[in-house]
Amino acid sequence: MKKTIYDVAKEMNLSPGTISKILHNKGNFSQSTRERVLSYVKETGFVADSSARILKAKQSFTIGIVFSDIAHFGLEHPFFSSVLQHFKNYVERFGYEIVFIVNRIGDQELSYLRWSKVKKVDGVLIVTGNINKPNIIELVNSDIPAVSIDILMENLITVISDDELGIQLGVDYAVKSGLRRLSCVSGPLTSRAYFERLSAFQKALAKHGLIFTEKYFSESESYGFTGGYNATLKLLEKNEDIPDFIFAFSDELAFGVIRALEESGYNVPKDVSVIGYDDIYLSKHFTPSLSTIYQDKKQIGEVAAKKLLELIEGKSLSEVESERIPVTLIVRKSTV
């Protein structure tokens, strides 16, 4: 049987898009990679017309990644980096490469949409972004297929965790454990996830006949350990009766919550139970190991990838604007 570009890509451990671009003298690749492909072509007799499927479809087999770092937590963020890795693994199985779409390269500044067109991407994954920024609005309303794993907008398909379920699971567990002074520590409420989790927390309390009060709520000024630490100190300062349960709306916040409690003379979980949200790798190794809400990062990444590829192939997904992925409660030693 005649070899296809997919056979060549598999043998060379490269993507079909890379093979096609090199054969047609396009793309920015290292000299060694280019020479390796051209040498293979010469030795095997593989010819460029085997990539006709790609050329005929007018696809670049490239997907753009928009990571508008409004939270300043960077690509090392344990949740988003893991979801992105699973997304990348999935699309690569279908011959796609990923490229980051940025605002500025050197002295050149273009919109996300313009850069997407310059890169000739087939579709875009919006990891994070500000829904009020013209850059994001323009891209979402363009003809380039787009999916997000964080923001909710009209005309945008989004794949995220079922935060209402996650918060309900945590509150239900606290109440069943006999805890009644339930409080929460949130990251900045400008974040869609934190805003939704706070709203879900209020609903979950009401379900159990408990009243949400501001004295048992503390909003962090940042997203990580230090934010959780400082928010907890503020929470303790305004309460004579300290809470017996703190729901931190991320694991990194929860780490700061626990250290602030311990340094203030309280034992976790004897005096205060703490639950986080995410189940990042460090959670089970922290001391005490963190009870948390597990988000299925693999499923989020793969479902987002599947939906984006379907959009690229021309399938209509307008009936489903977002999909909520189920979460589970992981009980460890930070709760009674």
Q: Which residues of 25-55 are buried (b: 16+ CB within 10 A; e: fewer)?
A: eeeeeeeeebeebeebbeeeebeeebbeebe
Confidence of residue 53 (pLDDT cuts 50, 70, 90): very low
pLDDT of 75 strictly over 80:
no
Question: What per-residue confidence (pLDDT) applies to 54?
Answer: 46
Query: Alpha-carbon distance 325 to 336, whole Å?
Result: 27
The strand pair at 146-148 and 123-128 is best described as parallel
Query: How high does pLDDT run on average in the chain?
Result: 88
Confidence of residue 125 (pLDDT cuts 50, 70, 90): very high
Are the folds of 5-57 and 62-159+298-325 the same? Answer: no
β-pair partners for 21: none
Fold that domain 5-57 belongs to in CATH: 434 Repressor (Amino-terminal Domain) (1.10.260)
Domain boundaries along the sequence of the chain: 5-57, 62-159+298-325, 163-295
| Interhelix angle 5-12/16-23, nearest 10 degrees | 110
Cα-based angle 202, 159, 204 (whole degrees, multiple of 5): 15
Question: What per-residue confidence (pLDDT) applies to 317?
Answer: 65
Backbone angles phi, psi at 229, to 5 degrees: -60, -55
| Assigned token pair, 102 | 């940025």
Model pTM above 0.85: no
The answer to which of 51-60, 300-309, 324-333 has the lowest mean pLDDT is 51-60
pLDDT of 51 strictly over 50:
no
pLDDT: which is higher, 314 or 246: 246
Question: What per-residue confidence (pLDDT) applies to 27?
Answer: 72
End-to-end CA distance of the chain: 64
Question: What per-residue confidence (pLDDT) applies to 263?
Answer: 97
Would you give the DSSP letter of residue 332?
-
Query: Alpha-carbon distance 20 to 9, whole Å?
Result: 9
Question: What per-residue confidence (pLDDT) applies to 93?
Answer: 85
Query: Alpha-carbon distance 203 to 206, whole Å?
Result: 5
Question: What per-residue confidence (pLDDT) applies to 43?
Answer: 77
pLDDT of 290 strictly over 60:
yes
Would you tell me which CATH number, out of the four given (3.10.180.10, 3.50.30.30, 3.30.465.10, 3.40.50.2300), belongs to the domain 62-159+298-325?
3.40.50.2300
Cα-based angle 326, 62, 98 (whole degrees, multiple of 5): 55
The Cβ of residue 235 has, within 10 Å, a number of other Cβ atoms equal to 22
Average of per-residue pLDDT across 4-21? 81
What residue type is assigned to position 236 of the chain?
L
Average of per-residue pLDDT across 55-78? 71
pLDDT: which is higher, 292 or 40: 292
Average of per-residue pLDDT across 230-256? 95
Query: Alpha-carbon distance 307 to 319, whole Å?
Result: 12
What residue type is assigned to position 95 of the chain?
G
Query: Alpha-carbon distance 10 to 30, whole Å?
Result: 19
Residue listed under structure tokens 């963190």: 290
Closest by CA to 223, choosing from 262, 261, 189, is 189
Question: What per-residue confidence (pLDDT) applies to 106?
Answer: 61
The answer to which of 67-71, 184-188, 214-218, 227-231 has the lowest mean pLDDT is 67-71
pLDDT of 88 strictly over 90:
yes
As a whole number of Å, the CA-based R_g of the chain is: 24
β-pair partners for 97: 62
Question: What per-residue confidence (pLDDT) applies to 57?
Answer: 53
Residue listed under structure tokens 């794993």: 149
Q: What's the CA dihedral at 85, 90, 93, 97 to 10 degrees? A: -50
The answer to which of 76-80, 192-196, 272-276, 283-287 has the lowest mean pLDDT is 76-80
pLDDT of 55 strictly over 60:
no
Model confidence over 169-191: pLDDT tens digits?
999 999 999 999 999 999 999 88
pLDDT of 49 strictly over 50:
no
Question: What per-residue confidence (pLDDT) applies to 56?
Answer: 46
Residue listed under structure tokens 């909003």: 219
The strand pair at 97-101 and 322-325 is best described as unpaired
4 Ramachandran zone, left/alpha/beta (phi>0; psi -120 to 50) = beta
Question: What per-residue confidence (pLDDT) applies to 74?
Answer: 59
Question: What per-residue confidence (pLDDT) applies to 62?
Answer: 92
Fold that domain 163-295 belongs to in CATH: Rossmann fold (3.40.50)
Model confidence over 150-170: pLDDT tens digits?
999 988 999 999 999 999 999
Backbone angles phi, psi at 246, to 5 degrees: -125, 125
Query: Alpha-carbon distance 224 to 79, whole Å?
Result: 12
The answer to which of 40-54, 103-117, 160-174, 208-222 has the lowest mean pLDDT is 40-54
